[in-house]
Chain A
Amino acid sequence: MSINATLIGQMITFALLVWFTMKYIWPPLFDSLEERKKKIADGLAAAEKGHEEMHLAEKKAKGVIKEAKAQSSEIVSLAQKRANELVEASKDTAKKEGERLILVAKAQIEQEKQQAKESLRKEVSALALRAAEQILSAEIDKTKHQDILGKISKQLG
Chain B
Amino acid sequence: MATEAHAEGATGYIIHHLTSLSVGEGFWTLNLDTLFFSAVLGALFIWFFKRAADKATAGVPGLVQNFAEMLIEFVDGQVKDSFHGKNELIAPLALTIFCWVFLWNFMDLFPVDILPLIGSLMGLEYLRVVPSTDLNATFAMSISVFCLIIFYSIKIKGPWGFAKELMFQPFGPWLLPFNLLLKLVEEIAKPISLALRLFGNLYAGELIFILIALLPWYIQPVLSFPWAIFHILIITLQAFIFMVLTIVYLGMAHEDH
Q: Residues of A contacting B45 with CB < 8 Å?
A: 17
**Is A28 engaged at the interface, CB distance under 8 Å to the other chain?**
yes
Cβ contact within 8 Å between B53 and A29? yes
Chain B interface size band reads 35 or more
> Knowing A10-B141, A13-B39 touch, does A1 contact B57 (C-beta < 8 A)?
no
Cβ contact within 8 Å between A11 and B143? yes
Cβ contact within 8 Å between A33 and B29? no
- B113 CB to closest chain A CB (Å) equals 20
Interface segment among A18-26, A82-90, A126-134: the answer is: A18-26
Cβ contact within 8 Å between B31 and A4? yes
**Is B24 engaged at the interface, CB distance under 8 Å to the other chain?**
yes
Q: Residues of B contacting A39 with CB < 8 Å?
A: 58
Q: Which secondary structure characterizes the binding site on chain B?
A: helix
Interface digits, A23-42 against B, CB 8 Å rule (1 contact, 0 not)? 01110111111011001000
A30 vs B91: C-alpha distance in the bound complex, in angstroms? Answer: 10
A70 vs B249: C-alpha distance in the bound complex, in angstroms? Answer: 73
**Is A9 engaged at the interface, CB distance under 8 Å to the other chain?**
yes
Cβ contact within 8 Å between A26 and B91? yes
Q: Which secondary structure characterizes the binding site on chain A?
A: helix
Q: Residues of A contacting B93 with CB < 8 Å?
A: 18, 21-22
> Knowing A10-B35, A10-B136, A32-B57 touch, does A26 contact B100 (C-beta < 8 A)?
no
Cβ contact within 8 Å between A33 and B73? yes
Q: Residues of A contacting B18 with CB < 8 Å?
A: 1
Q: Residues of B contacting A7 with CB < 8 Å?
A: 136, 139-140, 143
**Is B187 engaged at the interface, CB distance under 8 Å to the other chain?**
no
Question: Shortest 5 CB-CB distances between A and B: which pairs?
Answer: A10-B140, A35-B58, A6-B136, A22-B92, A32-B56
